Structure 1
Amino acid sequence: STTRKGEGTGIGLALAKEMVELLGGQIKVESKVGRGTAFEISLPVTRNAPLETDIRKDIFVAMPAPENLPKKSKACPDTPNTMPAWPQNEKPLLLIIEDNPDVIEYLQACLGTGYRFLTARNGKEGVETALEKVPDIVISDVMMPEMDGFGVCEKLKNDPRTSHVPIILLTARARVEDRIAGLSHGADAYLAKPFNKEELCVRLDKLVALRKQMQEHFTNKNISEKSEPDSPEEAFLQRLVAIIHEHLGEEDFNVPRLCRSIAMSRTQLHRKIKALTGQSTTEYVRNTRLREAKRLLETTGMSVSEVAYQTGFRHPNNFSTAFKNYFGHSPGGTNK
């Protein structure tokens, strides 16, 4: 192939080595530039074959033929799944970047109905899809045409639209230095092919759980424009809050205007805010207005109506209702 950068280090050699060693044999290679490569496999011949139950046949998951793929079921049914039962439109959106269609089909069969899937057949297409759709998780091969998995990690982790998205690299390059390279480019996990299905499922479950913890953290934290951000995600929310505060008294400052101010599409901004806070863009703008209203009521002598107009609410009655729904008490009961 003329498209792969790492020709000759794919899954075939890893599978051959694993199978030979399972049979108690050895595999050797001799290669000379310009002359070719010779592989030598030595297998022992004995009359002491192990019992079938002793063979480590379920340690690794190889790629079966399409007709032998597992039937689709709930996500990772063989693992102690910690994911909640998501409604269809709220299931995590998982992007698989892989140039082998059989591997894509196998991953989808393994993960079952616990996710919604996007697929891309090379690194460049994967980055474009991720930036447009902003998935919840990315699983990427390392050796691909157009752009390798390391390049995918670097692009996505350095773009504010996708910097929060966890990335799992799946590859046959299982050396320690390869793992370090993947992690140094921003990968959240690095699994070797042939991969252990159960480990992949547990990794995915934990990444989804971490996302829920991140949402709780940012939901409960008062984002201040003046404080030093602890992460790129907090820096993004600080920028968002600053833009909302700039237009705080403008009742017509809406989501389309916010999207233009932060240079994101409506879908990109919605999925970014949803991933970080669990709120829609409209909810986040309204709640930011309400938090500022509460601060004004606590620190100034402004009346409830004045604060309502100051924070972009056209009608004080609507402001009072929204305030009570968010804080659990009316604005008139806020202590100064």
Structure 2
Amino acid sequence: MEKNLTKTDLILIIDDSEDILDFLTEIFSDGYDVVTAEDAEQASAILKNNVIDLIISDIMMPGIDGFEFCQQIKSDIDYCHIPLILLTSKNTYQAQIAGLEVGADAYVQKPFSPEFLLLQVANLLKNRFKVREHFASTPFEDSWITTHLKTDEMFMKKVEEYIHLNIKDTNLEIDQLAYHMNMSRPTFYRKVKAISDVTPKDLVNIVRLKKAAKLIAESDLKLFEVAQMVGYNSQSIFGKNFLKYFGINPLEYASQLKNA
């Protein structure tokens, strides 16, 4: 499935030069939504109030420079999943290494061609989409947490482990998960959605259904018993959700396993 990038991704551009901001805004405004900041302080305020999909930051800025800002972003659990491109006029290997060491996803030297920068952005966003798509399309894997960022992987595994520990709780809600992760409800919601492309509610449901599929495959439990063990009060709702997610109802799935 190809991703439609038109007017769906929000890019944050940071540069203390108004001319550069105007130039980059013009480059990206045809395909993306764009917000700009003149320094790291403004950028941090924008991050708190918007769901940013990608950041482009100059290195040479007043106050906190691009290297330090990148390091802050990549060490913050709330924002580390956001791809970040550093722009610089420093044409040295040392500068490139420094950019990679602080976690930059790409390092682009000035002057650059608009086409090259557009391609870098498109590729990074496409990769993020593939990761999110993978989460939603691998229901039978033991772990669907596979990402190039260890911080994201650890975050999602911690969430999934908590869901498993409380899987029989029919009232397990986003507030409990957010509290467990020491995050506010809105921040937790944005984080899960950004990494996995599913809501926390859907994530809980997927973990329940994956556990149910495993129980059906590995035990002789009745379907109503399986439903109860994964937190469903209603076998009917369990069956509908199972069919919606796996494309087969629990009874047919169990029958196929027996006949395999």
Range of TM-score over shorter length: 0.7 to 0.9
1:213 equivalenced with 2:135 (yes/no): no
Q: Which amino acid aligns with 1:284?
A: L
- Tell me how far apart the structure 2 counterparts of residues 179 and 307 of structure 1 sit (CA, whole Å): 54
The two structures, once aligned, show a CA RMSD in angstroms of 2.5
Name the residue aligned to 1:142: 59
Please state if 1:298 is matched with 2:211: no
| Distance (Å, rounded) in 2 between the aligned partners of 1:140 and 1:255 | 33
**What is the Cα deviation at residue 109 of structure 1?**
0.9
- For residues 62-85 of structure 1, the C-alpha deviation after alignment (integer angstroms, 9 at most, x for no partner) is xxxxxxxxxxxxxxxxxxxxx743
Instruction: Give the gaps of 5 or more residues in structure 2.
Output: none
Which ranges in structure 1 are unaligned for 5 or more consecutive residues?
Answer: 1-82
- Give the Å deviation of 1:220: 4.1
Return the offset for 1:131: 5.4
Describe how 1:91-170 pairs up with structure 2 within 5 A.
91-130=8-47, 133-170=50-87
Superposed counterparts of 1:43-82, under 5 Å: none
Residue identity matched to 1:297 = I
| Cα distance in structure 2, aligned partners of 1:84 and 1:332 | 35
Which of 279, 282, 289 is equivalent to 2:201? 282
Listed one character per residue, the Cα deviations across residues 162-193 of structure 1 (whole Å, up to 9, x for unaligned) are: 22211101122222211111111111111122
Kindly provide the amino acid, as one letter, of the partner of residue 255 in structure 1. Answer: I
Distance 1:296 1:239, change over 3 A: same
**Alpha-carbon distance in structure 2 between the residues aligned to 1:92 and 1:154:** 23
SS at match of 1:282: helix
1:175 alignment partner, one of 92, 107, 111: 92
**1:241 Cα offset (Å):** 0.4
- Matched-pair identity in %: 32
Distance, in Å, in 2 between the alignment partners of 1:107 and 1:270 is 30
Q: Does the 8 Å CA contact 2:3/2:129 hold for their aligned counterparts?
A: no
More helix per residue = 2
Tell me the TM-score normalized by structure 2: 0.86
Q: Structure 1's 230 and 123: CA in aligned 2 closer, same or farther, altered over 3 A?
A: closer
Task: Tell me which structure has the larger Cα radius of gyration.
Answer: 1
TM-score (norm 1): 0.68
Quick one: structure 1 residues 299 and 250, their matched pair in 2 at CA, closer, same or farther if it must change by over 3 Å? same
**Cα offsets for 1:182-219 (capped at 9, x unmatched):** 11111111112232211100101111111122223333
- Paired residue type of 1:260: Y
- SS at 1:118's partner residue? strand
Do the aligned partners of 2:13 and 2:34 also contact (CA within 8 Å) in 1? yes
